[in-house]
Amino acid sequence: MATLLTAPPRIGRQSIGALGVLALALGALQSVVEPAVPLLQRELGVSPAEGALVANALLVTGAVVAPIAGKLGDRYGGRRVLIWLMTVVSAGGLLASVAPNLPVLLLGQVLQGVMVGALPLSFILVRKHLSTGQTQAAIGLVVALFTGGGMVGTLVAGPIAESLSWHWMFALPTFAIIAMTAVVTRLMPQDPPAQPDHRIDWPGVVLLSATLLALMLGLVTVTNAGLPPLAIAGIGLVVAALATCWVLVERRAVAPMVDLRMLAKPAMWNACVLTLVITISLGMVLLMLPQLFAAEADGYGFGASTTDIGLFLMPGAIAGALSDSVGGIAARRFGPRAVIVVGTVVTAATMFALASWHTEAWQLVVAKVLIAFAAGIGTTALLAGTATTVDAKDTGIATSLLVVTRVIGVALGSQLGGAILAAGGDRPTESAYVTGFVVAGAVAALSLIVVRLTKKGTRV
């Protein structure tokens, strides 16, 4: 009987393949928005700042859902929660595919954002049903296909939008997700839930979600509506009040959603600050480069179609994917601090160079490759360094905090870039792009100051 209890049911290549193809479809659905932001702005009649919110809505939801999905997977079983999440993602994709206006599209993106929780749930499944060596190979396959799906989405968004309509960018990956969820449901055995020691910290979940959503909605309102100072201060107070309530709840919770004591550790604090600074600069680039590619070729800009934008961005997407593995290796060989310094210097120098040289498409393509790779190795090095610095029992908490920080940084950068472009009117001037590149370079350079101020002997 003991043998039967300790031997989990095995899964075959078909089950792993189904998880991988599902990850591929999810990655494609997540990435179709980036090259299509200028198109969506024209079709929906929205500003660059509102266009940035379309992508940020998914990121914010993902930041909130990822840790929740892990807890629910432990409590109810990874297979069951994965099916729940895919139902929500499918509903969001279908809603986005028929969206007549920005609010409906944003709601669809919010629902799609729960897809981020699919990765930890997939890891739960393969760990329960495979040996250690097989688990590592399966996780690598799922992550690689999710990243590959992002590249596919970037490439096909333009051809689909131009040959059919932008609605089909969301519809086709969603159909694939629905089909593969059915296959996973059929092939994947039910995994027994673990017995939790404490109840889920639902007050902390709700307050964290409310804080992040209030932050993002406040950002787009402040950057797009031209509010008076008192209104801006009021929005800031609402966000601060929600964040304060969340901190108070987490400090009293028996099993908090996020262990705030982690933030008090020097290594964790430094890693969070550096991740935030690096990803703010990256977020600005992710927003501004597609806009510059799409700008009418009248002294500046290239008048690129959505398809062309996807092709221009593809080398950067590949560089970003490669940087995830290189960053961990570089951190072990040279240390996180050295990797961050090199990545920061490359990013800042590239951004400042873009302010002067942005008249040829290849200049923007090369810049995107350098920035994506440099930012990728920097954030991955921080993740790897933090994971080996904190206690083993705190690894999950620490890395979750960095993931949330990374998402917030990209979102803030996108909104900042959108605000700079929007300040020049409906059609951003060349000087607006120059200002954006200089600001992004200056933000990236702040990482050097943070590293310099880090106490000696403290690992970053």
Q: Which has more pLDDT, 305 or 169?
A: 169
Which residues make Cβ contacts (< 8 Å) with residue 412, sequence separation at least 6?
219, 276, 280, 283
Q: Is residue 252 part of a domain?
A: yes
76 and 48 in a common domain: yes
In a domain, 5, yes or no: no
Write down the pLDDT at residue 332. 67
Q: Is residue 271, in this structure, part of any structural domain at all?
A: yes
Task: Over range 410-420, report the average pLDDT.
Answer: 81
Q: What is the pLDDT of residue 4?
A: 42
Q: Say whether pLDDT at 335 is over 90.
A: no
pLDDT band at 3; cut points 50, 70, 90: very low
Provide the CATH number for the domain around residue 75. 1.20.1250.20
- What does DSSP assign to residue 45? T
| Among candidate residues 123, 121, 114, the one with its CA nearest the CA of residue 64 | 114
Per the model's pLDDT, the better-predicted residue between 256 and 2 turns out to be 256
Rg of the chain taking only CA atoms, in angstroms: 22
What average pLDDT score do residues 74-93 get? 84
The pLDDT value given to residue 91: 93
Query: Is the domain of 249 the same as that of 294?
Result: no
More confidently predicted of 446 and 218 = 446
Q: Given 191, 220, 237, which residue is the final one in a domain?
A: 191
Measure the CA–CA gap between 419 and 44, rounded to whole angstroms: 18
How far is residue 83 from each of residues 17, 77, 87, 177, 341, measured CA to CA in Å? Answer: 16, 10, 6, 11, 42
Among the residues of 98-197, which ranges form H helices? 102-112, 118-129, 132-163, 167-187
Query: How much is the mean pLDDT over the chain?
Result: 77
| Residue 131 binned pLDDT confidence (cut-offs 50, 70, 90) | low
The whole-number pLDDT of residue 457 equals: 42
pLDDT at 94: 92
pLDDT in the model for residue 1: 41
Angstrom distance (rounded) from CA 129 to CA 144: 20
User: Does residue 21 lie in a domain region?
Assistant: yes
Any domain includes 3: no
pTM over 0.75? The answer is no
**Both 228 and 301 in a single domain?**
no
In a 13 Å sphere around the CA of 424, the CA atoms on its Cβ side amount to: 15
| 28-62 residue pLDDT tens | 888 888 778 778 888 888 776 677 677 777 877 77
Q: Which of 235, 256, 277 is the last residue of a domain?
A: 256
Structure tokens at 95: 């809603």
Within 301-335, residue ranges assigned H as helices are 306-334
| Residue 257: φ, ψ to 5° | -60, -40
H helix runs in 295-394, sequence order: 306-334, 336-356, 361-389
279 and 153 co-located in one domain? no
Say if residues 259 and 394 touch (Cβ distance below 8 Å). yes
Question: What's the pLDDT tens digit per position in 226-261?
Answer: 667 777 788 889 889 998 998 898 888 777 766 677
pLDDT at 458: 46
d(CA 445, CA 341) in angstroms, rounded, equals 9
Measured distance CA(384)–CA(179) in Å, rounded: 35
Co-location of 144 and 219 in the same domain: no
Count other C-beta atoms under 10 Å from residue 133's C-beta: 8
Q: Do 304 and 326 have their domain in common?
A: yes
Q: CA-based angle 427:418:225, to the nearest 5?
A: 85
**pLDDT > 70: percent of the chain:** 77
Indicate if 288 and 435 belong to the same structural domain: yes
Considering the domain boundaries, does residue 373 fall inside one? Answer: yes
pLDDT tens string 383-403: 666 656 666 445 555 666 777
Whole-angstrom Cα distance, residue 369 to residue 361? 13
Range of the domain at 87: 11-191
Shared domain for 422 and 299, answered yes or no, is: yes
The answer to whether residue 93 sits within a structural domain is: yes
Verify that 217 and 129 share a domain, yes or no. Answer: no
Residue 281 lies in a domain: yes
How many structural domains is the chain composed of?
3
Of the residues 191, 219, 235, the one at which a domain ends: 191
**Are residue 252 and residue 288 in the same domain, yes or no?**
no
Q: Are residues 290 and 248 in the same domain?
A: no
Q: At residue 458, what are phi and psi to the nearest 5 degrees?
A: -95, 125
* 281, two tokens: 């600069």
Task: For residues 113 and 58, give the distance between their C-alpha atoms in angstroms, rounded to a whole number.
Answer: 4
Tell me the CA end-to-end span of the chain in Å, nearest whole number: 48
Q: In 7-131, where does DSSP find H-type helix?
A: 13-31, 33-44, 48-76, 78-97, 102-112, 118-129
Grouping H, G, I as helix, E, B as strand and the rest as coil, residue 1 is coil
Closest Cα partner for 217 from 236, 202, 204?
A: 236
**Residues 141 and 245 placed together within one structural domain of the fold:** no
Position 311 pLDDT exceeds 90 = no
